[in-house]
């Protein structure tokens, strides 16, 4: 089964630490053959 990582903020974030942990789920610490991906969205309102 694939996994979903979500994060929301009203200011710019550095998600390096969180994404480093999450990438390990691709086979090192969890069997996740479906993989994972990233999407980004900025709203200028």
Whether pTM exceeds 0.75: no
Q: How far apart are CA 10 and CA 1, in angstroms?
A: 30
Digit-coded pLDDT (tens) for 25-45: 766 666 666 666 777 777 765
Closest C-alpha to 43, from 12, 14, 4: 12
Are 3 and 36 in contact by the 8 Å Cβ rule? The answer is: yes
d(CA 22, CA 6): 11
% residues pLDDT > 70 (the chain): 64
């Amino acid at each position: 089964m694939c996994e979903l990582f979500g994060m929301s903020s009203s200011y710019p974030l550095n998600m390096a630490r969180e994404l480093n942990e999450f990438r390990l789920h691709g086979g090192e610490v969890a069997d996740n053959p479906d993989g994972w991906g990233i999407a980004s969205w900025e709203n200028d309102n």
